[in-house]
Chain A
Amino acid sequence: MAKAKHSLPVLKKAPTGIDGFDQITNGGVPQGRPTLVCGSAGCGKSLFAAEFLIRGATEYGERGVLMTFEETADDICKNVASLGFDVDRLIAEKKLIIDYVKIDRNDIEENGEYDLEGLFIRLGYAIQSIGAKRVVLDTLETLFSGLSNQAVLRSELRRLFYWLKEKGMTTVITGERGEGQLTRQGLEEYVSDCVILLDHRVIGQISTRRLRVVKYRGTTHGTNEYPFLIDEEGISVLPITATSLDYEVSNERVSSGVEGFDDLLGGEGYFRGSTVLLTGTSGTGKSSVAAQLARATCARGERCMYFSFEESPAQIQRNMRSIGVDLAPYVKKGTLEFHSTRPTVFGLEMHLVRMHKLIEKFQPTVVIIDPVSNMQNAGTLEESTNMLLRLVDYLRKNNILGFMVSLTGGGKALEVTDEGLSSIVDTWLLLRDVESNGERDRLLYILKSRGMAHSNQVREFLITSRGIRLSEAYLGAEGVLTGSARINQEARDAERLRTASEELERKKLAHEHRRRATEAQIEALRAELAAEEEALLRAVESERTRLEQISIDREAMSRSRGLAGKSTAPKSRR
């Protein structure tokens, strides 16, 4: 208590070491105070308590006392041994004490006044003998079935919790879920600091465990229901998200592996660590795009992990080989890992954790999930959205490119994803079918791609025996044409073009002719003009000559008249 006063702003917390739980509670359970963990049978509360103790002893150097009212020490050792905890060693090293409190109503008769001092003494002795800091009381409520004096029990429990608090024990008390209240005996009344509710629900034949921090006095905590699971490494609680969106981003780009496609993505491909969603109706070649990415990744010498929820690894490899994408060498080399499971084999949380673990171990740079759309078979739509969100978060945080393939059901709107993923992904590619002229053609386009100049062009998507090829789809007055219609149209266009140019040629020629004819005409006129001019000059000359002649003649006549009188003049004229 004094401790809490000294460090007023921060409540001291004792880390539980339980995967994810410390994250939700910002550090663990309240130190030196009791925490109630309640839930129905089989929800994992005993394990939670045991893990709290064991991890305390092994990871945080806080020894612990486990007082169990239900199972014997042997049983507990065996139970947790299957989860990889060596309790016997901890006991031998005096890091842990397990005290089994046997309460059998048939064995005990009550007669007059009593108290639970014996329990206090036992616990006190155990705590003292190893210097414990943590205490677990596993299903304290068993006391109520063994002893009938409720008034005594209640007052003693109150005293017990107070006593534990005074001793500064970080205590976890488990309690069975009751009707209308958190625990059958209303233990939550006594434990006011921290109450955690575990739940185990079966929906659609798939069970999911959930954890919720009902109350945590004096601190902030996540209030959601967090799915958790129990596997060979104990409890893992999965915070929905890392609560904050503050991961690092990369400017590095990685190739999509599809020839010609990187050009559409600003010429370089996807961002490293981004999330890509590829949606399309069935048979549009989604997996092929994924496989190309896998190949490109491995070819760069990076690791790629391929989660398949529909096909087996062998099937994928065979199918991809048929389009010229041979993945086998990379699998052999160990840079490509396939993991195929049916979505319904476990609940979504189990899937998520399994993926987390595999990714953690393999350290890939690209993770492909093919497809995400049938994840909802393993839960509800909402749950699968949540799960994928968390997965995306995880991938982004670790700078892993997530490539998710989603199948759009026939007749559904194309630009909608069931999973509600569209808003969280960075790049969204859409593959679609166009049916025309008795064939189906594939089209690929980029609906969005954050942070890069991406093309708005629709490309025709061709699956050839040498992989995927993109070609520009025909866009014209006739609309978008693909396949043979596109080829047709292209031929028609070319024809039209050719005809047009021929016409032009012809016109040019005609013009040339006309030009030449005109020039010839001009030439002729000029010649005519010149001839006329010539004639005119000649006429002028001859006139002049004639006039000269006349004057000469006249002169001669007058001369002759002058010489021979006037009578000779007419003669000369003749």
Chain B
Amino acid sequence: MKKKTQKLAKNGANGSLPEGEQFSLRLYVAGQTPKSLTAFANLKRLCDEHLPGQYRIEVVDLAKNPHLAQADQIIALPTLVRRLPEPIKRVVGDLSNSEKVIVGMDIRNLKAKSENP
């Protein structure tokens, strides 16, 4: 719990560019539990694979910032929230089923869109 977590894991060429960062993802965890580490690793792998340079992952450690749990309606951990693009989507769990993450977060769809033009 005391150990430092990845506070902000930025991936992507251009942090401020809206077109480059079309995915804003937030991963809520409570300390470095095996589940949260797995979730983060799974997420990172998927994003790198499907959304290179288009995403940003924010890891929120509720053990450190417990007040955020209420504000963001978090119950289960780990929880992945897709804040952008709208609508907001949530996935609960360690994201071990990649296929489901891709469908749930619409990652493939957007990638297809961005590849089309």
Q: Hey, which bits of chain A sit against chain B, CB under 8 A?
A: 99, 101-103, 107-119, 121-122, 124-126, 143, 146-147
* Known contacts A99-B70, A118-B28, A118-B77, A112 near B63 by CB under 8 Å: no
Q: Chain A nearest CB: distance from B36 CB in Å?
A: 9
Cα–Cα, bound, A117→B74 (Å): 9
Q: Is the CB of B73 within 8 A of A112?
A: no
Asked whether B2 is an interface residue with its Cβ less than 8 Å from the other chain, the reply is no
Whether B74 lies near A111 (C-beta < 8 A) is no
Residues on B with C-beta less than 8 A from A119 are 75-76
Known: A112-B39, A113-B35, A115-B77. A121 touches B92 (CB 8 A): no
Q: List residues of chain B with CB within 8 A of the CB of A125.
A: 66-67, 69-70
Contact (Cβ within 8 A) A118 B69: yes
Number of A-B contacts (CB under 8 A): 95
B95 at the interface (CB under 8 A from A): yes
Q: Is the CB of A109 within 8 A of B95?
A: no
With A114-B93, A116-B77, A143-B75 given, can you name 6 additional A-B contacts, CB distance below 8 Å?
A: A107-B90, A111-B95, A112-B94, A118-B79, A121-B30, A122-B75
Contact A109 B35 (CB under 8 A): no
Task: Evaluate contact between A111 and B104: CB separation under 8 angstroms.
Answer: yes
**Taking the complex as formed, is B100 at the interface, i.e. its CB lies under 8 A from any CB of chain A?**
yes
6 contacts between A and B (CB under 8 A): A111-B93, A112-B93, A114-B35, A116-B76, A117-B77, A121-B63
Tell yes or no: B109 within 8 A of A by CB: no
Given known contacts A108-B92, A111-B93, A147 and B76 CB-to-CB distance under 8 angstroms:
yes
Say which size band chain B's interface belongs to.
20 to 34
Per-residue A-contact encoding for B27-42, CB less than 8 Å = 1, 0 else: 0101001010011001
Assess whether B90 is in contact with A108, with CB atoms less than 8 Å apart. yes
What chain B residues lie within 8 Å of A102 (beta carbons)?
A: 73
Within 8 A of A (CB), among B33-82: 33, 35, 38-39, 42, 62-63, 66-67, 69-70, 73-79
Q: Which of B42, B62, B76 contacts A114 (CB 8 A)?
A: B76
The answer for the CA separation of A109 and B62 in the assembled complex, in Å, is: 20
Q: Which residues of A lie under 8 Å from residue B69 when comparing CB positions? A: 118, 121-122, 125
Q: Is there contact, CB below 8 Å, between B35 and A115?
A: yes
